Structure 1
Amino acid sequence: MNSKKIRIEEAIGLPLAHDLTRIIPGEFKGAAFKRGHIIQKEDIGQLKAIGKESIYILELSPEEIHEDEAAIQIAEAVTTNDFFITEPCEGKANIKSRTMGLLKVDKDLLCQINSLAGIILATLHSGTLCRPEMVVAATRIIPLAIEKKWLEAIEKLCREQDKVISLQQLKSKKVGIVITGNEIYHGMIKDSSGDIMQGKLESYGSHVTRRIIVPDDPIEIAQAIRLLRESGSEMILVTGGMSVDPDDVTLEGVKEAKASIIFYGIPILPGSMLLYAVLGSTPILGVPACAIYHKATALDIILPKVLAEEDITKDDIITLGHGGLCLHCGNCHFPACPFGKE
């Protein structure tokens, strides 16, 4: 790369080789002038105000590529069609999700790419729930230009191994809810869990087809589960009755329905009493009572995985203890927080 540094007073009529950044603390950070802008006499004052006394005149060899084009090429190499790439700004290209799903990051491949000279690729945590148009990764090169061979090396790595980031899309499912509790069944209190569960499910693109309220009786819980499955529910949530109290019999009811228990108890707080079972191919989640109080519990970690049809094993559950403690922040920002991150 041949570059010549000249003072801005001598650069009138010349194009900028890259975006020039302006920062107002706490208010603004962005490009004050874009790459290719032809410097005018009236720009001099503003350029000096952002600390620019000189600019580069840039000449690239055929073996080199500018930071903007490099960012696009890297982003295209590391992503699947589940993402789109924004126009570079200040040398950086953002990678955004097209649809809802769980972000999957090949951490080993990510490290290989970031070990290449002058390349950076930053992602969200693997397992993050992504919504449409959410920034999931960003990339740039450190120098103003780079040899093309480094980008070719990235493309080769991704061809031979895999894409660095992919998206496991959430499926829209018909969900049935079994609401347990003598106090609700006999009309002593009004149920609140059904509306809360429905709101969560709808936010993930699924919908509730039916709710059934039953007493704390394993036989009736089992009958409700089987009825929902036979009537077309593709997933079943059973609320309440998950603790060790003598009146809490949801686990017995799920077993009575002849479902296979994948796990009961999970190293995540709150929500450690969560149950996951399958009846045939129908997943069943036993929801602990804390899910109607806390914004984020174990349910919010596991439910998206079930909707993405991940094969959740006991070994997978064991690893969730790392990062499985909620901080109970006064102003909850979940899922933009460490809770449940891999």
Structure 2
Amino acid sequence: MGDSGIVRETVLREVKVEEAIGLALAHDLTQIVPGAFKGRLFRKGHRVTADDIPRLKDIGKEHLYVIELAEGDLHEDDAALRLAAALGGERVVYGEPHEGKVTLKAGEDGLAVIAREVVDAINALGEIALATIVGGRFVRAGEPLAASRAIPLVVPEAKIAAAEDIVARYRAAHGGASAVAVKPLRRMRAGLLSTGTEVFTGRIADKFGPAVKAKLAQYGSELAEQRFSPDDRHTIVNHLHYFLERGYDMILVSGGMSVDPDDRTPGAIADAGADIVSYGTPMLPGSMLLFGYLEGIPIFGLPGCVMHDPYTSFDVLLPRVLAGEAITRQEIAAMGYGGLHR
């Protein structure tokens, strides 16, 4: 509001491209060449020259927008940038706005953390959009985590302030935690016990060891030792206690996880004193996975699919364990929604 008491409104003016020479573009302009290129041809703020006219017409532009922002309004780029700045937390990076969008990416390898309640609350505001990946999964450095975007070219600043308030209230309620972040994975040393009389006696070759070793290595952890046991509960229990004494960070047990009479592994894990969080997960492949804690050490009972399927319930839970998260029965029960992978 000026001295005259009149509230100035944002003016979005349309002009012919031939009359836009010398004027600054109100937004990015995209060029699309089917099958070859899609990207920014002109950046917001670019001052149109006579040489630009043919290129503008090539992308179908006969008219352009010029804009005069009123106090209390934000350009789409500025709105998206402010939203990204509010959301981004530990080990998250982002760059310049592009067509009203800012992409937040993982700054390093780790576990993606996305506050679902924040995403839903921001999207309920209208005029701004926040799209994210599903949290709780492993991401590599450079992978997208979220993208903030303004829907109209001009957004009321109050709308962005409301989004920033949602993020601030989440932080306050969660000890300063960020709504979008990446948790680093710890390097853990695991002991693997492969059960099964047929493997123990050498009737068939072990395939669990190489598969588990490769899986741990891709997350920066190590298979420190592998042992073998026949299908005998007492023998399995002794091996598990041996792993405890060795001080390994995690214990993995392969084989004997089904309901066949010779499969002793789940009972032996219980006999060893483990607090079993869940035997069975609502996910395929990997429904017969067991997870629990043995004297505070994470312990997995691994089903056979871990040997040959590229993505199982083990791949869902392992990165969370490596990130130091405690796994609850309720979280495992929730894995059924979206848990069909075959």
1:89 aligns with 2:98: yes
Q: How many residues align?
A: 327
Corresponding residue of 1:266: 281
Corresponding residue of 2:196: 181
1:126 CA drift (Å): 3.0
Q: 1:242–1:251: 8 Å Cα contact kept in structure 2?
A: yes
1:19 CA drift (Å): 0.8
**DSSP 3-state at the match of 1:161:** helix
Q: Following the alignment from structure 1 to structure 2, what is the Cα–Cα distance between the partners of residues 21 and 217?
A: 67
Code of the residue aligned with 2:231 in structure 1: it is: D
Corresponding residue of 2:129: 120
Please identify, of 126-135 and 194-203, the stretch whose mean Cα deviation from structure 2 is larger: 126-135
Please identify, of 197-206 and 299-308, the stretch whose mean Cα deviation from structure 2 is larger: 299-308
TM-score (norm 2): 0.89
Q: Following the alignment from structure 2 to structure 1, what is the Cα–Cα distance between the partners of residues 118 and 199?
A: 52
Q: Following the alignment from structure 2 to structure 1, what is the Cα–Cα distance between the partners of residues 114 and 26?
A: 33
Q: 2:137–2:316: 8 Å Cα contact kept in structure 1?
A: no
Q: Following the alignment from structure 1 to structure 2, what is the Cα–Cα distance between the partners of residues 158 and 174?
A: 37
Corresponding residue of 2:296: 281
1:282 CA drift (Å): 0.7
Corresponding residue of 2:233: 218
Corresponding residue of 2:322: 307
1:197 aligns with 2:206: no
Q: Following the alignment from structure 1 to structure 2, what is the Cα–Cα distance between the partners of residues 252 and 51?
A: 70
Code of the residue aligned with 1:178 in structure 2: it is: L
Q: 2:186 aligns with which of 161, 167, 171?
A: 171
Q: 2:25–2:46: 8 Å Cα contact kept in structure 1?
A: yes
Corresponding residue of 1:109: 118
CA displacement, residues 143-179 of structure 1 (integer Å, 9 cap, x when unaligned): 2222322222222222223343344443221111111
Code of the residue aligned with 1:243 in structure 2: it is: S
Q: Following the alignment from structure 2 to structure 1, what is the Cα–Cα distance between the partners of residues 328 and 124?
A: 33
Q: Structure 1 residues 169 and 22 mapped into 2: Cα distance closer, same or farther (>3 Å)?
A: same
1:312 CA drift (Å): 2.0
5+ residue gaps, structure 1, are 329-342
Corresponding residue of 2:6: none
Q: 1:18 aligns with which of 5, 27, 30?
A: 27
Q: Following the alignment from structure 1 to structure 2, what is the Cα–Cα distance between the partners of residues 271 and 45?
A: 58
Q: Following the alignment from structure 1 to structure 2, what is the Cα–Cα distance between the partners of residues 266 and 117?
A: 37
TM-score (norm 1): 0.89
5+ residue gaps, structure 2, are 1-9, 172-177
**DSSP 3-state at the match of 1:41:** coil
1:298 CA drift (Å): 1.7
Corresponding residue of 2:242: 227
Q: Structure 1 residues 215 and 132 mapped into 2: Cα distance closer, same or farther (>3 Å)?
A: same
Q: 1:129–1:304: 8 Å Cα contact kept in structure 2?
A: yes
Q: Following the alignment from structure 2 to structure 1, what is the Cα–Cα distance between the partners of residues 28 and 337?
A: 41
Q: 2:137–2:320: 8 Å Cα contact kept in structure 1?
A: no
**DSSP 3-state at the match of 2:191:** strand
The percent of aligned pairs where both chains have the same amino acid is: 40
Code of the residue aligned with 1:70 in structure 2: it is: A
**DSSP 3-state at the match of 2:98:** coil
Q: Following the alignment from structure 2 to structure 1, what is the Cα–Cα distance between the partners of residues 251 and 79?
A: 47
Q: 1:266–1:298: 8 Å Cα contact kept in structure 2?
A: yes
- The 5-angstrom pairing of residues 234-249 of structure 1 reads 234-249=249-264
Q: Following the alignment from structure 1 to structure 2, what is the Cα–Cα distance between the partners of residues 272 and 149?
A: 47
- Aligned CA RMSD, in angstroms, stands at 1.9
CA displacement, residues 37-87 of structure 1 (integer Å, 9 cap, x when unaligned): 232323222211111111122222332222212211111112323311121
CA displacement, residues 295-329 of structure 1 (integer Å, 9 cap, x when unaligned): 12221222222223332222222222222222x3x
Code of the residue aligned with 2:133 in structure 1: it is: L
CA displacement, residues 214-270 of structure 1 (integer Å, 9 cap, x when unaligned): 222222222222222221210011111111222221123323322222221122122
Q: 1:72–1:85: 8 Å Cα contact kept in structure 2?
A: no
Please identify, of 143-152 and 199-208, the stretch whose mean Cα deviation from structure 2 is larger: 143-152
**DSSP 3-state at the match of 2:162:** helix
Code of the residue aligned with 2:220 in structure 1: it is: G
Corresponding residue of 2:51: 42
Corresponding residue of 2:146: 137
Code of the residue aligned with 1:233 in structure 2: it is: Y
